Chain A
Amino acid sequence: MLAPVDGAWLAVYRIAFGLALGVSMQRFLAYGWVDTLLVSPRYKFHYWGFSWVPCLARGEMHALFWALFALGLCVAAGFLFRVTAPLFALGLTYIQLVDVSTYLNHYYLAGLLAWLFALSPAARVWSVDAWLARKVPFLRRFSPEGPHVAFAWHALFRCQIGLVYVFASLAKAQSDWLVHGQPLGMWLGASTSLPVVGKLFTLPHVPLVMSWCGFLFDATIVLWLSMARTRKLAYLVVIGFHVMTRALFDIGMFPIIMTCSALVFFPASWPRDVADRVRTWLGRVAPLRPEVPSGAPRTSTFRRIALGLGVLYVVFQVTMPLRTFLYGGNVLWHEQGMRYSWRVMVRAKGGATTFFVKEKATGKVWLVSPRQYLTAYQENEMSGQPDLILELAHTIGEDYAARFGPVEVRAESTVSLNGRRGAPLVDPDVDLLTVHDGIAPASWILPSPGGAPPPTRPVL
């Protein structure tokens, strides 16, 4: 694990990641999402244990995104990497902690990768830092040790990306996806105006066939990418798959991040191989490659501890998505164990929630629309996620208690899962002020509705 390998793969990955995330920050600014998602909502949902995280003012938040854009470019360039990469990871993490309703799997992935990069020796090759170290003798004492990195880093990134694909496939191994072609059948209906392929989506069984293709892709692509004989073809499939998902769905930079990330399954020196081929094609002589140190890898207590932490990280990443099995039931419905589990694009949930606030003294009942606290986006996200309903119920309870004295707060939340008829998500008889969020199974969440989702045909 500690054997040195060429660091070229990590350098290219660092450049691609920094650029992709830099673009992502620009998208937030250009589309006004900094305001609509993070600044404008006057109420913010908090992660469990992170209610202390403050929200920046509008100007500060915009400045943060510009700073993260610049930091993304610094990461890509490998400039002051030991400073800029942790700051970049910290900033990405902060953005995610501002409001739970903005949680997306690919934002979570970007945060994890940013921290892995920040801790990794990703600036050893093809970076401004390495260039400066060569030019300025004084800086050599701070410079990386050479163009090699421990194989453990390669293994760690492969594990991280592989787990995303594997758990995404496990999430699809259920009847809605594999038997009924949902929710893909619903989503494809929005793309029937696409040139050429749009009409294909209206053909019978196409959503189901595409569901199976998606499942098989996620379930096996790591295997194909791991085998030398199939790797190149598999990567072409990766490109095709993510280009299509980008065309069909609003999934932002996720396809680009994954397309770049899949390159970690190639040998460590693949960038030099490609460069050599290009040079040969241009009739130039390929430069000498840096020698890989021979002999047993250097070990130290620090390295052993670092290796142990890496193993712990992988164990954590494996167990987090599996935790939902401790809860039982349908995770797509009760959402316990849903986050951080790579259940990507498998549930379509719509809901309407109304809070009933009852004054204990008079029995007077107020109907509180979530819109009084939330934006439409937040309301839609909250309606399908019971812990967010609970959090808002407590906030509403505090507000009304301050005005009218002791109150009870109940929620009537009707939710449709993958096109099914709406069903109550939380028990309307439970005073939510008596319930507190935690990791224990939530008895106040009602069981998911049974039966198959209705068939939906995309139409022109």
Chain B
Amino acid sequence: MKLQRFSRSFLALGGAVLPAVLAFACHTTEEPRPGVAKKGTASTADPLPPPFDAGVVPDAAGLPEGPYACGAPPVSTAPFTKAALLGATADCAAYHLCRFANAAHVLRTTVDAEAKDGTKESRALAQLAWQRAMDEWSHSALFQFGPVADKATDKYHGRSLRTLVHAWPDTSRCQVETQVVLKGYQGGFDLVFPSSRGLFALEYLLYYPGTDTACSASSQAGGAWASLVGDAQTKAKRDYAVAAAGDLVAQADTLRKVWAPDGENFKAKLLAFDGYGNEQEALNVVAWSMFYVEQEVKDLKLGSYAGFQTAPPNPETAFARVDIENIRTNLRAFRELYAGCGAAGEGLGFDDWLVASGNGALAKELLDLYTQAQAAADAFPPFYQASPQQFADLYLKIRPLANLLKTQLFGSGSPLNLKLPASAASDTD
């Protein structure tokens, strides 16, 4: 009996102390991303906290319109040719970047309003605008060719504009807080690291309610943070949010102009294989975007949560917790590139190329695997409610699609002769 009583007392004590310890740990971690375990720990066993929100339901009708008329999704009805496919993918990329530019403008408007009045309602509206911008970016993020792409992805035209919008997985909360407290951004965003700007910075600033810092106390930012308390900290965060939103608009407008006929008109360059050397190489680079599903979605966004990888999870939206929404959109964007830009995959895509070259069965198999992956993602709960087994199941639904891409759509065995990234320029046999 004594032993039982002792056990109950111990459990009760543990139940009281454990949350306090966890809360303390959460506030003293170097990089306290919710749900992120330190290296070497079994992260998937840890429950993820829900997202931080403003506590009120925003009125979506309160969101203003963006400045650009992007129209309906461009659906090409032209018969398949490689040139038509390049044109269709260019139109689709341009369409989504136009929509993202609109969303960025709306986000800036709402962030400005929130900075002025500071109400829960305006905060909630800004959060809603951020979610829309994130969703639009999750579409655009898949179209990794041309100036938006990194140099490693598109060695011909890549200018890494992507990282200025959303640098994930290379983001840093401490770097954002450094900007908040030291205000380096006031000297211009050219000196601000990508890891501390764009959608990640705004997510932190709009969603994270804590007053702690991820920077070490011995750092310059960490030391300054200690003296930034109360309203001064709130104002400093809002000031950086306004500046970051302005920078995001500038990047979004730059991206839109890349494709605009009255801007850089990158579509014309793509159609002329300008810089790519030949049509096949241009198609290679465009097609590599489909690997986003394998590398970013399967491995980076899901692999660690599924418990299949030893690296700790690095959530894409650590504060807003819309990771699964992003994955759903990433998969839809995959379909737009693979099958066509229409809402249901209408239009020209790489599946039409497969069909034209006599590989209709492969085209259907890829689409079927995509449909399975999309259905699994659509049925998936928010990350913070999902179990490791559910993560594993989703991972294993996306894996066959990624494997088929590598086995039959790309590489030495590709019926379309699509080469794998980084192997395009080497000799053979």
- Residues on A lying within 8 angstroms of B by beta carbon are 31, 33, 36-37, 104-106, 186-187, 189-193, 249-254, 344-345, 347-352, 354, 365-369, 371, 375-377, 379-380, 383-384, 403, 414-419, 421-422, 454-460
Known: A350-B406, A380-B423. A192 touches B358 (CB 8 A): no
Chain B residues closer than 8 Å to A460, beta-carbon distance: 81-82
With an 8 A cutoff between CB atoms, is B408 at the interface? yes
| B417→A351 contact, CB < 8 A | no
| B417→A187 contact, CB < 8 A | yes
Measured CB to CB, the nearest residue on chain B to A350 is B413
Chain A residues closer than 8 Å to B410, beta-carbon distance: 350
Known: A186-B415, A456-B358. A377 touches B422 (CB 8 A): yes
How many whole Å from B427's CB to the nearest CB in chain A?
4
Chain B residues closer than 8 Å to A249, beta-carbon distance: 428-429
Measured CB to CB, the nearest residue on chain A to B405 is A352
Chain B residues closer than 8 Å to A106, beta-carbon distance: 427, 429
How many whole Å from A173's CB to the nearest CB in chain B?
17
Known: A457-B356, A460-B81. A350 touches B417 (CB 8 A): no
Q: What separation, in Å, do the CA atoms of A354 and B400 have in the docked complex?
A: 11
21 contacts between A and B (CB under 8 A): A33-B426, A104-B428, A190-B417, A251-B427, A252-B427, A348-B413, A349-B413, A350-B410, A350-B412, A351-B407, A352-B404, A371-B295, A376-B420, A380-B412, A414-B407, A416-B407, A419-B413, A422-B407, A455-B358, A459-B356, A460-B82
With an 8 A cutoff between CB atoms, is B411 at the interface? yes
Q: What separation, in Å, do the CA atoms of A193 and B277 have in the docked complex?
A: 11
Known: A189-B415, A250-B428, A349-B412. A367 touches B309 (CB 8 A): yes
Contact of B361 among A186, A367, A454 (CB under 8 A): A454
| B82→A250 contact, CB < 8 A | no
Q: What separation, in Å, do the CA atoms of A457 and B355 have in the docked complex?
A: 10
Q: How many residues of B contact A (CB 8 A)?
A: 43
Chain B residues closer than 8 Å to A414, beta-carbon distance: 403, 407
Chain B residues closer than 8 Å to A377, beta-carbon distance: 420, 422-423, 426
Known: A186-B417, A366-B308. A193 touches B279 (CB 8 A): yes
| B427→A250 contact, CB < 8 A | yes
0/1 interface trace, chain B 39-71, chain A, CB 8 Å (1 if under): 000000000000000000000000000000000
Q: What separation, in Å, do the CA atoms of A253 and B413 have in the docked complex?
A: 23
How many whole Å from B58's CB to the nearest CB in chain A?
40
Measured CB to CB, the nearest residue on chain A to B281 is A190
Known: A193-B82, A249-B428. A376 touches B407 (CB 8 A): no
Measured CB to CB, the nearest residue on chain B to A453 is B415
Chain B residues closer than 8 Å to A193, beta-carbon distance: 82, 278-280
| B358→A457 contact, CB < 8 A | yes
With an 8 A cutoff between CB atoms, is B113 at the interface? no
0/1 interface trace, chain B 289-332, chain A, CB 8 Å (1 if under): 00000010001000100001110000000000000000000000
| B426→A250 contact, CB < 8 A | yes
Known: A380-B423, A414-B407, A416-B408. A352 touches B402 (CB 8 A): yes
Q: What separation, in Å, do the CA atoms of A262 and B152 have in the docked complex?
A: 40
How many whole Å from A187's CB to the nearest CB in chain B?
6
| A104→B423 contact, CB < 8 A | no
Shortest 8 CB-CB contacts between residues of A and residues of B:
A350-B413, A350-B411, A252-B427, A190-B417, A367-B308, A352-B403, A352-B406, A416-B413
Q: What separation, in Å, do the CA atoms of A375 and B426 have in the docked complex?
A: 13
| A419→B412 contact, CB < 8 A | no
With an 8 A cutoff between CB atoms, is B425 at the interface? yes
Name 9 extra pairs, CB < 8 A, besides A252-B427, A351-B406.
A104-B429, A193-B280, A345-B428, A352-B402, A352-B403, A367-B308, A367-B309, A419-B359, A419-B413
Chain A residues closer than 8 Å to B404, beta-carbon distance: 352, 422
Q: What separation, in Å, do the CA atoms of A352 and B357 have in the docked complex?
A: 23
Chain A residues closer than 8 Å to B422, beta-carbon distance: 36, 375-377
Most buried by A among B403, B410, B429: B429
| B423→A376 contact, CB < 8 A | yes
With an 8 A cutoff between CB atoms, is B416 at the interface? yes
With an 8 A cutoff between CB atoms, is B266 at the interface? no
Chain A residues closer than 8 Å to B411, beta-carbon distance: 349-351, 380, 383
Chain B residues closer than 8 Å to A403, beta-carbon distance: 310
Most buried by B among A189, A349, A457: A189
Chain A residues closer than 8 Å to B158, beta-carbon distance: none
Measured CB to CB, the nearest residue on chain A to B84 is A460
| A456→B415 contact, CB < 8 A | yes
Measured CB to CB, the nearest residue on chain B to A344 is B429
Chain B residues closer than 8 Å to A421, beta-carbon distance: 361-362, 408
Q: What separation, in Å, do the CA atoms of A254 and B82 have in the docked complex?
A: 29
Chain B residues closer than 8 Å to A415, beta-carbon distance: 407, 413
Known: A251-B429, A369-B299, A380-B423. A458 touches B357 (CB 8 A): yes
How many whole Å from A102's CB to the nearest CB in chain B?
8
Q: What separation, in Å, do the CA atoms of A265 and B310 have in the docked complex?
A: 59
Q: What separation, in Å, do the CA atoms of A345 and B428 have in the docked complex?
A: 8
0/1 interface trace, chain B 392-406, chain A, CB 8 Å (1 if under): 000000010011101
| A459→B82 contact, CB < 8 A | yes
How many whole Å from A29's CB to the nearest CB in chain B?
13
Chain A residues closer than 8 Å to B310, beta-carbon distance: 366, 403
Q: What separation, in Å, do the CA atoms of A375 and B423 have in the docked complex?
A: 9
Chain B residues closer than 8 Å to A189, beta-carbon distance: 357, 415-417
Chain B residues closer than 8 Å to A457, beta-carbon distance: 356-358
| B420→A191 contact, CB < 8 A | no
Chain A residues closer than 8 Å to B278, beta-carbon distance: 193
With an 8 A cutoff between CB atoms, is B421 at the interface? yes
Measured CB to CB, the nearest residue on chain A to B399 is A354
Q: What separation, in Å, do the CA atoms of A421 and B402 have in the docked complex?
A: 15
Chain B residues closer than 8 Å to A37, beta-carbon distance: 426
How many whole Å from B249's CB to the nearest CB in chain A?
35
0/1 interface trace, chain B 356-373, chain A, CB 8 Å (1 if under): 111101100000000000
Chain A residues closer than 8 Å to B168, beta-carbon distance: none
With an 8 A cutoff between CB atoms, is B100 at the interface? no
Chain B residues closer than 8 Å to A384, beta-carbon distance: 412-413
Contact of A251 among B362, B421, B428 (CB under 8 A): B428
Q: What separation, in Å, do the CA atoms of A379 and B411 have in the docked complex?
A: 10
With an 8 A cutoff between CB atoms, is B80 at the interface? yes
Q: What separation, in Å, do the CA atoms of A106 and B429 have in the docked complex?
A: 6
Q: What separation, in Å, do the CA atoms of A384 and B412 have in the docked complex?
A: 9
With an 8 A cutoff between CB atoms, is B334 at the interface? no
How many whole Å from B304's CB to the nearest CB in chain A?
11
Within 8 A of A (CB), among B262-300: 278-280, 295, 299
With an 8 A cutoff between CB atoms, is B391 at the interface? no
Chain B residues closer than 8 Å to A191, beta-carbon distance: 280
